[in-house]
Structure 1
Amino acid sequence: MLAVALCAATAVPAAAQDRAAAENWVATWGAAVQRPTPGTEDDGPNWSVAGFRDHTLRQVVRVTAAGSQARIRLSNLYGTKPLKITGARLGRSAGGALVWPGSSRVLRFGGKPATEIPPGKEAVSDPVALTTSPLEKLAVTLRLSGATGPATFHRFTTATSYRAQGDHLSDQGVDAFNQSTGAWYYLSGVEVAADAPVVVAFGDSLVDGVGSSAGADVRFVDQLAERLVEAGGRAGTVNAGIAGSRLLNDSACFGDKAPDRFRRDVLDRPGVKAVVIHLGANDLGYPQIDSACTKPNPRVTVAQLIEGHQALIRSAHARGVRAIGVTIPPLKGALFPFWNEDVEKARTALNQWIRTGGGYDAVLDADHAVADPAAPGRPRPGYVFVDGLHPNDAGSHAIASALRLEDLKLGAGGPRLPS
């Protein structure tokens, strides 16, 4: 009987296997989108306010889960007019704006090579036959022949996006792509056909990767993805952080408050099984900062922050998603007005609730991972960026290493843990 069963299992046609895999889509990369906003001295210029006119846009992303087919997700959430995509392609990155020869695939939308996305909506491409490997980079190229108006985008990245004037959709080379910025535009997700669980990291600049080296894929979420791959897992890992994001208030520059974006940025990702949440630092720090981007910046209580975290946990649990809370790292030492004694008391109290309050299914103790034992309330000198606040590459590694992979409980697709 065993031999018969084995023969039957191997007799399934490859086409049928492909169809079965295609029914199970999982997120392998993602970004949280935000409103168009001008660049700053800190993050450099971007193209979101002016948008695009007769341009070809090429964006490079690093995927995490392997798959047999791939598709992309485009967002016009904050657009003021329909977004016309004249053409789109997906291929393997060969470095910079270069596409690996022979890898480029034409993307279609409902069978058509072009699509129009209404304001406030998104579009998902048809799947293409492109196998992906964990941690490889893909190049997404969009042809924007008309005037787009202000562009839905993700402001801060440690990656580079490229732009060419005119139609260079089919170009493999880089010569025409002579403009670049450190932001992503319209692209909110890459998904693959696979049987794999997905982990989403949701939060602020700690998640987004402020302080980590540009182009090196060393944000703590990147390093967590590498840990999962090294442990033999098939998991997809998505970064849904927005630098400057808050738990309780919106910002014109830093995205919607957490409850308003939690569903689209986390729960609606295909395959999500666990979410890692870091929020509250900006809620505590912004009342000390007077700028258009931080307003409204009311003082908040620990009780309000706990209530906000509990709301996210309830939303995750209602969808069967495991919630891991991240403690807030030390804030003292920031080279801008972010810390005072009241902030420190609130941070300490919130961290105590995250660790022991019983709301979260597990805890990633980022505070403990990067704190200086010799100077309470401050980060280790070798773990902090030049702004005195954000973790550098070493600090991000320490945070990623502090998560117990078994706490994610990813099931059969998770890491192979030692017995």
Structure 2
Amino acid sequence: MNKKGKLKMRRRALYILIGIIIISFYFINVAWIGKDDDGASSLETEIKTVKGDWVGAWAASMQAPFEDGVSHKGFKDQTVRMVVHPQMDGDQMRIRLSNAFGEEPLTIEKVHAAVSKGGAEIDPDTDQKITFDGKEKVTIPPGEKKFSDPIPLKVKSEKELAVSIYANEKTGPATWHPRSMQTNYISSGDHVSEAGASNFETEEESWFWLEAVDVTADPSVKGALVVLGSSIANGNYSEIDANNRWPDYLADRMNSEDAEVKMSVLNAGISANQLINSPPEKGENALDRLDRDVFSQTGVEGVILHQGLNDIRHHPDYDSEKIIEQMKKVIDATHDKGLKIYGGTLTPFKGSSMYTEKGEKTRQEVNEWIRTSGEFDGVIDFDKAVRDPEEPKRFLPEYDAGDNLHPNDEGYKKIAETIDLSIFEE
């Protein structure tokens, strides 16, 4: 064989060798199902590569059951169908269940998810079984939470989801979120995949165990913004089932086509919650629930803090220094996690129960510090958005829910509209 022929054979052998190496690497990567450096399975890593990162699309802050009522009684051989409003689109979804305040292991037999058709009805064509580590049945130890496996249910922010949970065994007192501003439904027996509403005869304005819904979002989504607050964040006095909380309105702005920055907005508001000392029935105080309600959210990039007014109202001995000191602790803890935190000024409350001139003075001093201290990464002036220019200690009547303490739907919308989205760009 001449020299030219030998050269061709060597090149051919080299090409074959390169091909074998490439194919080998491919099959090694496909076969590997271990864990990556972040603890995610290689399957999940592949999903992230193709679909985008997981990000929280909806959340609710859990709290301890009350000493009586439905949360204390718990459930046995019943289905709870909960309606949630996702704040972000996604190609897949997963949920997180919480037994944070349970005293016994929580056993759930079945969980299904579907697109809601309104009320207790679901679209049967979208109904899908949710599993945990490949199994329908899941047991969550007391004080723990559990992610589900992903399901290929496309999530749209304009379409509500229904998550149905069937508990056969007695659950004991239930970890929950009362005053959901959303009607949810309870039936006897197993009806997780039932499309109709006829068996869901009991209504409750509460979510049980369901702590979060995550989606694989478009890569253009920056992440999630968590609102840490009390009844105003929770949307008290807004229209039931209308998703007119101010975080909902903010999410609508961030989901618009021309939004300067696209982020999911997660609501960590608890009705009557306090910044410093919060009774059990009003949820843990803001600092104590930071890890569970804020830092554990998937894809969290920033926090909006809007708390302190309940402390002023319920504790007339508190001065502005005490409120500010606690805010600084929340700021420091957030910055330690590498997250941005934005401060919301405290809204007017003259004319409401527990109003005092001393409390008003404290509110004004706290608001001045929020606006001028530079401690926050940005400021949102809720006070300016809804106060009466003629009497700044009071709500503007058109934004008042009627108790001189909470906004109405127009007031919640006004708060969201006045937020400068550019503060979230950096």
Would you call these one fold, judging by a TM-score over 0.5? yes
| Alpha-carbon displacement from aligned partner over 1:118-152 (angstroms, at most 9, x marks no partner) | 11111110000111122321110001111111100
Tell me, yes or no, if structure 1 residue 401 matches structure 2 residue 424. Answer: no
Unaligned runs of 5+ in 2: 1-29, 31-43
Structure 1 counterpart of 2:240? 214
| Alpha-carbon displacement from aligned partner over 1:133-190 (angstroms, at most 9, x marks no partner) | 2232111000111111110000111101100001112211111111011011000000
Among candidates 66, 77, 80, match of residue 37 of structure 1: 66
Written as runs of structure 1 = structure 2, the 5 A alignment for 1:17-416 is 18=47, 20-21=49-50, 24-37=53-66, 47-194=70-217, 195=219, 196=221, 197-230=223-256, 231-232=258-259, 233-287=261-315, 299-334=317-352, 336=353, 338-409=354-425
Distance 2:129 2:326 in 1: 43
1:205 and 1:245 in contact (8 A); partners too: yes
Residue identity opposite 1:207 in structure 2: A
Give how far 1:222 is off.
0.6
| Aligned length, in residue pairs | 379
Distance 1:157 1:137 in 2: 14
Runs of 4+ aligned residues of structure 1 deviating over 4 Å after TM superposition are none
| Alpha-carbon displacement from aligned partner over 1:342-400 (angstroms, at most 9, x marks no partner) | 10000000000000011111111000000001113011011111222100011111111
2:48 and 2:216 in contact (8 A); partners too: no
Aligned Cα root-mean-square deviation (Å): 1.7
Distance 1:29 1:373 in 2: 35
Give how far 1:38 is off.
5.7
Distance 2:315 2:58 in 1: 33
Residue identity opposite 2:268 in structure 1: A
Question: Alignment partner of 1:253: what SS?
Answer: helix
Rg (Cα) greater in structure: 2
Task: Using structure 1 for the length normalisation, give the TM-score.
Answer: 0.87
Give how far 1:23 is off.
7.3
Residue identity opposite 1:383 in structure 2: Y
Distance 1:247 1:382 in 2: 28
2:60 and 2:177 in contact (8 A); partners too: yes
1:64 and 1:136 in contact (8 A); partners too: no
Structure 1 stretch 362-371 or stretch 127-136: which is displaced more? Answer: 127-136
Structure 1 counterpart of 2:4? none
Task: Using structure 2 for the length normalisation, give the TM-score.
Answer: 0.86
Distance 1:253 1:163 in 2: 23
Distance 1:254 1:321 in 2: 26
1:26 and 1:198 in contact (8 A); partners too: yes
Residue identity opposite 2:205 in structure 1: G
Structure 2 counterpart of 1:42? none
Residue identity opposite 1:213 in structure 2: E
Distance 2:48 2:399 in 1: 47
Residue identity opposite 1:211 in structure 2: Y
**Structure with greater helix share of residues:** 2
Distance 1:135 1:328 in 2: 31
